[in-house]
Structure 1
């Protein structure tokens, strides 16, 4: 229950580098990313994971999967610049198979690039196929990271706190511990706005409709407001954190803001999850 696929080494088949899939990928228009994307595409000659080895992200749209990681890495770098963070050491908590991590590992300005995940298959994939600068390790659901105090400039957690039904504040404290003073944590979450806006076109909503505790909220009018400050919908399965969690902004400001200073909040950046950026002072 505290980790996944911990026994033995996984066997993989891999895809070609991202450039191989660019033509014909009509999922998203990435032209607004500009010349930086072109330079990153030329630099990244490493393989891509198959859809089943990347939590299903972007289905069969392999170039869009890669480009979404580039975009999120760019947004993180820009946040560091705005908040005066010299990004040298970085951790992606819940990194999966390196969607964002690969782009930071190819950034010559960074000296330390770590990723961790509950799923040993993702860890094996990164350590086998991505640049040597990308160091991946398997963590577990109990808040503990094998990294020194005050050692990192930034930590990201993409779609991680959306699943943490327990130990959420302890995980925030652990992220605070490994961050340097002034370092930032980029965390995506489901907020009360997510609660009100999700609909049948959202995978999140399609899954929740089959959760018995969510039945009273299927009708849109039942979701005008988040009923509680923090709501957890749990699936009982043989894996850790099989849940969907919603947070009210007031809760985040009152509780998370005690642990680190909340510097920025963004609605649906870039897609369907909100972002909160915290800074260790």
Structure 2
């Protein structure tokens, strides 16, 4: 909750400014459980691809309206349903095709003037990852060439192994990539290095 508060404060907003709030990729309510039980007109929503996690939220936090989706859009909401959407650590694991699909979908369900906060593996996380590869390995050069050349490096060769689908492993973003590419979907208002748990970077976006 503190990271979300700081992200919103960076654009002179606060949680209290929003009424229709969605945690996209909510898991078992890792952030939702820290938010106060809403009083009308505020409503909280949670969306997830894990049926077991959604069932737990529905049973234990009945004031949250939940929905279950697949790995790709759509979300089961009309255009312009929300004025705040937040998430921790989904874009940091999706490949570019899935990222673009979800950026377009989040823009669709966000109303004009609405805000989205997303986290990514940025420079700090990339340095940790690449630093684990021997300096004299050709793999390290290949990895850094892609990251600094394209601005986005995605790999299935990570600790997640076969437990996750091919589209959900490890993605690393440069600041340049976020501003050049994500701005095709939403306006980038702030980029906060290590703004999420002092590890992932926080991106604050707005729909014009």
Q: Does the 8 Å CA contact 1:163/1:243 hold for their aligned counterparts? A: yes
Tell me, yes or no, if structure 1 residue 252 matches structure 2 residue 178: yes
Distance 2:187 2:195 in 1: 20
Distance 1:253 1:137 in 2: 30
Residue of structure 2 in register with 1:121 after alignment: 52
Query: Bigger relative contact order, structure 1 or 2, given CA contacts below 8 A and separation 6+?
Result: 2
User: Which has more strand, going by share of residues?
Assistant: 2
Q: Does the 8 Å CA contact 2:5/2:14 hold for their aligned counterparts? A: no
Distance 1:195 1:146 in 2: 34
Alignment of 1:132-151 (within 5 A): 132-151=62-81
Return closer, same or farther for 1:109/1:267 CA change in 2, 3 Å cut-off: farther
Distance 2:15 2:28 in 1: 29
- Stretches of structure 1 that go unaligned for 5 or more consecutive residues are 1-69
Return closer, same or farther for 1:76/1:266 CA change in 2, 3 Å cut-off: closer
How many angstroms does 1:73 deviate by?
4.6
Q: Does the 8 Å CA contact 1:87/1:109 hold for their aligned counterparts? A: no
Residue of structure 2 in register with 1:237 after alignment: 162
Return closer, same or farther for 1:226/1:192 CA change in 2, 3 Å cut-off: farther
- The CA deviation string for residues 126-150 of structure 1, in whole angstroms up to 9 with x for no partner, is 00011x2211221111121001111
Residue of structure 1 in register with 2:205 after alignment: 278
Distance 1:147 1:175 in 2: 10
- The CA deviation string for residues 63-116 of structure 1, in whole angstroms up to 9 with x for no partner, is xxxxxxx42453355457538983101111111111111233524366221111
Report the structure number with the largest CA radius of gyration: 1
Distance 1:244 1:110 in 2: 38
Alignment of 1:173-212 (within 5 A): 173-197=104-128
Q: TM-score, normalised by structure 1?
A: 0.62
Residue of structure 2 in register with 1:216 after alignment: 139
Q: TM-score, normalised by structure 2?
A: 0.81
Q: Does the 8 Å CA contact 1:116/1:136 hold for their aligned counterparts? A: yes
Q: Does the 8 Å CA contact 2:191/2:202 hold for their aligned counterparts? A: yes
Return closer, same or farther for 1:278/1:272 CA change in 2, 3 Å cut-off: same
Tell me, yes or no, if structure 1 residue 158 matches structure 2 residue 88: yes
Distance 2:40 2:145 in 1: 45
